[in-house]
Amino acid sequence: AQKVTQAQTEISVVEKEDVTLDCVYETRDTTYYLFWYKQPPSGELVFLIRRNSFDEQNEISGRYSWNFQKSTSSFNFTITASQVVDSAVYFCALSEHQETSGSRLTFGEGTQLTVNP
């Protein structure tokens, strides 16, 4: 069975600090995808990034960066120079890769990030 663990339930930082959200996953699949979603206080789920199991390159998008390491089964997310608008719940998710099921997602429990001014 697949599993995603986000050990940090809540993180509180002061604006402009860097913050890293941890994600550890378990799967027996050789082909899989990892995702990060953001859920702001308004409640919608916003897709941030998808990474496939064959691509271990780190990715940077503005203030966001992701570190994928298969050796430690981790897919961590760093926000540089955090802003109040980054306050949200962040979910890490793992998908199976099967024709009939598409991309069934297994989510972690989420990390509540609060950025204080």
Partner 1 sequence: DAGITQSPRHKVTETGTPVTLRCHQTENHRYMYWYRQDPGHGLRLIHYSYGVKDTDKGEVSDGYSVSRSKTEDFLLTLESATSSQTSVYFCAISESVVRSTQYFGPGTRLLVL
- The answer to whether 98 contacts partner 1 (rule: CB under 8 A) is yes
> Which one, 28 or 71, has the nearer CB to partner 1?
28
Choice from 3, 7, 18, 102 touching partner 1 (CB under 8 A): 102
The two tokens of residue 83 are 């802003």
The two tokens of residue 12 are 């509180």
Choice from 13, 87, 107, 114 touching partner 1 (CB under 8 A): 107
* Measured distance CA(9)–CA(60) in Å, rounded: 24
Distance of CA 87 to the CA centre of its chain: 14
Q: Alpha-carbon Rg of the chain, whole angstroms?
A: 14
- The answer to whether 47 contacts partner 1 (rule: CB under 8 A) is yes
Catalog residues that contact partner 1 under the rule CB under 8 A: 4, 33, 35, 37, 43-45, 47, 50, 91, 93, 95, 97-110
